[in-house]
Amino acid sequence: MPMPLRSFIVLYHNIDNTAAPKPLHEVVPARIYRTPSEFRQSGSCIPQRRKTVDTAEVVPKKKVRRTTAASTTTADVEETPSTSAHPFVWDPADDCETCFYAYRDIAPFLSKIAQRLKKSKSELAIYDPYYCKGTLIKHLKKLGFTNVYNKDEDFYARLDAGELPPHDVLVTSPPYSKNHIERLAEHMRTTTVPWMVLMPSYVHRKQYYAPLVDARSPCFLVPNKPYVYYAVNGGRSSNTDVLCRHWVRDGSCPKGSACSFKHSKTASDTPATDRNPVGDGEAPTPVIPFHSFWHISVGLQWQSGIIQAWNQKFKKNSKCQIVPSMESLSDTLDACAAKGS
């Protein structure tokens, strides 16, 4: 027996799980179907429930201003925020911002390079290939250096392609994990551009560092007290499963928060790459992983003159020591360690 028309419509609404049945004239199409099978055979489309969109998941596009490498011109570009932290493989513990004082200490060297190139400080093109939060740009701007290239991009991809942005000097503090420092050291050895690189105190003893010394004869700017870094993701001890041997054995560590290993007697079940102790809006964690210092090479034709100028004008009021060669570096580091102890 054919199903009554009204019963068919009510049944259809119940199946569709919508609200109360709509008036007949809003639901029934121009042709009246006597049975459900007749309706299906006609090829008509059953109205579908409208898909709701969660506005919280919609990431709006925003306009940003970017500065070119060798000039101060800017252009508006459309940018959609990336869902990943960086567009390259990274270690959360490497995301640390260098303190302002570290850049203040090398400002005289940067000014001298600009002078030798017959450029103003604002014209000197500075390149930092490792991106964290871009705080470097703010620090250097305070010192008068506004032409800084530091973007969230893959440095090694650009290096392999021979497409590094044009720059007058390389200024950076590389990540400590994996072989980042070794790869950067190879670039430092072969480039003809002056560089100032902030690296931990063990690097100059590494085997890969010796060819760099032979090729570039760097000098070193050593702070009397270690520089402080600001870990965006909680530092290495918050992003590693490698246990601190002192903590496992004694329940304490002589290095305290400066220790690079996990202060726990058991490893975490959460992979290091999935942890992010610092959320949006939270203050970065101050850390001092090593006594780091500046490795500086401005070219053989300028090196001695710039060192002499620094000794004459800045040495008296500086909180750093200039070390002209590798031969006296170990003694300087030992003296700084003795003062800090």
**Tell me, what's the pLDDT at 29?**
45
**Tell me, what's the pLDDT at 135?**
87
CATH of domain 89-239+275-340: 3.40.50
**Tell me, what's the pLDDT at 223?**
93
Contact 127, 165 (CB under 8 A): yes
**Tell me, what's the pLDDT at 61?**
44
**Tell me, what's the pLDDT at 168?**
97
Q: Which residues of the chain have pLDDT under 70?
A: 1-95, 233-242, 245, 254-284, 289, 339-341
Angle at 145 between CA 144 and CA 150, to 5 degrees: 145
Positions of CATH 3.40.50 in the chain = 89-239+275-340
Cα 158 from Cα 155, distance rounded (Å): 5
Question: Quick one: 144 exposed, middle or buried, by C-beta within 10 A (0-12, 13-18, 19+)?
Answer: middle
**Tell me, what's the pLDDT at 242?**
62
Q: Residues with Cβ < 8 Å from 115, sequence gap 6 or more?
A: none
**Tell me, what's the pLDDT at 336?**
78
Cα 335 from Cα 341, distance rounded (Å): 10
